Amino acid sequence: MKTLLALSLALCVSTADAKPHKTVHDRFVRWEGITDLDMLKQVRADLDSAAKDHVKTLRVSLTSPGGPVITSLEIARLVRDASDKGLVIEIHAVAICASGCTFVLASGTPKHRFISRWALFLVHPPQQGGECVKRVADPQTPDEKVSDVLLDLMRDHYVRYTGAEPSQAEAWITCGNEQVGNGDLAYKLNMADASE
């Protein structure tokens, strides 16, 4: 009996010494403003913190007029990669989701992407110096080559997040074919799963 009691106490002590991780089921964050380096840092910190704390669902209130293409695409890539690893990223876009913001909304966990029907939603090609960036059939200059690569990256991100055909996503980022509407347009383009 003494042996059994000693063994039981030893198990209790070793179990008490172990530090089990605590699972946090939900966390709420706000991603507001331009989809620039500051938002990229915030998103990365929020995703890292959620992973460290074993968060199951990260609920995001998203309000953004967009921002630089590269940082917008990187934010979206981080969001979808975290989602693919099991973190549910539930995005609720409100007020405005335009330009680079559309990638972030679309990159949320499928079936967990929402937008207010009262939000302004805008998909458009990149702009440089106030001019629409057009695809160049045979790019020669560094600017033309970079512009074509950016358009390819934008198209490929939309295809990844929406399931659209490449030709359809290409049309969204073609000069003169801007997509502008309320939150219902995001649903129509499969960048959101529902309008609220």
Nearest-CA neighbor of 89 among 119, 66, 56, 49?
Answer: 56
User: Once rounded to an integer, what is the mean pLDDT over residues 145-161?
Assistant: 96
- pLDDT greater than 60 at residue 13: no
93: β partners: 62, 115
Q: Which residues contact 86 (CB under 8 A, 6 or more apart)?
A: none
pLDDT digits (tens, 9 = 90+) for 41-54: 999 999 999 999 99
Q: By three-state DSSP, how is residue 131 classified?
A: strand
Q: State the pLDDT confidence band at 162, using cuts at 50, 70 and 90.
A: very high
| Contacting residues for 70 by C-beta, under 8 A, at least 6 apart | 150
Mean pLDDT, residues 156-185 taken together: 96
Confidence class for position 25, pLDDT limits 50, 70, 90 = confident
Q: What single DSSP character describes residue 66?
A: -
Three-state SS string across 97-153, please? Answer: EECCHHHHHHHCCCCCEEECCCCEEEECCCEECCEECCCCCCCCCHHHHHHHHHHHH
Across the chain, what does the average pLDDT equal?
90
Question: What pLDDT score does 27 carry?
Answer: 97
In this prediction, residue 23 carries a pLDDT of: 60
Bridge partner list, 61: 30, 92
Q: Tens of pLDDT along 73-122?
A: 999 999 999 999 999 999 999 999 999 999 999 999 999 999 999 999 99
Token pair, residue 70, equals 């590269």
Residue entry with tokens 């063994």: 7
Using the predicted structure, report yes or no on whether residue 12 has a pLDDT greater than 70. no
Return the amino acid letter for 64: S
Domains observed in the chain: 23-195 (3.90.226.10)
Model pLDDT, residue 7: 37
Task: Please state, for a pLDDT cut of 90, what percent of the chain lies above it.
Answer: 85
Q: Closest Cα to residue 109, out of 76, 78, 80, 74?
A: 80
